[in-house]
Structure 1
Amino acid sequence: MKNLILTFIGMISSRALIAQETAEIEMADRMMASGKIYVVVAVLLLIFLGIVLYLILLDRKIGKLERDTNNQG
């Protein structure tokens, strides 16, 4: 079973290496030239920060609920 898994992983990784060619990324170049790439980066950063803030607030609420549950029991 271990040999089968290792063979499968080897096949997948070799296909990934073959698929990596040095090709130009035209869309990124066009967006960089027109300045739109900064808007994309800003939106992605805003989404990421929103998710992080949500997780922090959720962790605080869960921690408070755990403390309240431990104090009652």
Structure 2
Amino acid sequence: MKKFIVFFILQIVCLQQTIAQSTDFLRSTGKIYSVVVIILVIFVGIIVFLFRLDNKLTKLEKQIKNEQ
């Protein structure tokens, strides 16, 4: 069990270093802004989709309620 905990902690440390290196590379080349913009576009798209879906469902619920 002790070996597993040590192995797990070492994996976390190595992963953090790798992420930091790739983030530094993206920052130095200016591509980090492209990544941020793409993530924002995806989130905005999901939010718009969910609002439109909610409006359509509300409209359908009202129609069903009026028919009864």
Match of 1:69 in 2: 64
Q: Which letter does structure 2 place at the counterpart of 1:23?
A: Q
Match of 2:21 in 1: 26
**Consecutive unaligned residues in structure 2, runs of 5 or more:** none
Q: Percent identity?
A: 36
**Higher relative contact order, chain-length normalized (CA < 8 Å, sep 6+):** 2
* Superposed structure 1 runs of 4+ greater than 6 Å apart: none
Q: CA offset at residue 23 of structure 1?
A: 2.2
**Consecutive unaligned residues in structure 1, runs of 5 or more:** 1-13
Say which structure is richer in helix: 2
User: CA separation in 2, counterparts of 1:62 and 1:53?
Assistant: 14
RMSD of aligned residue pairs (Cα, Å): 2.1
Q: CA offset at residue 45 of structure 1?
A: 0.2
Aligned length: 60
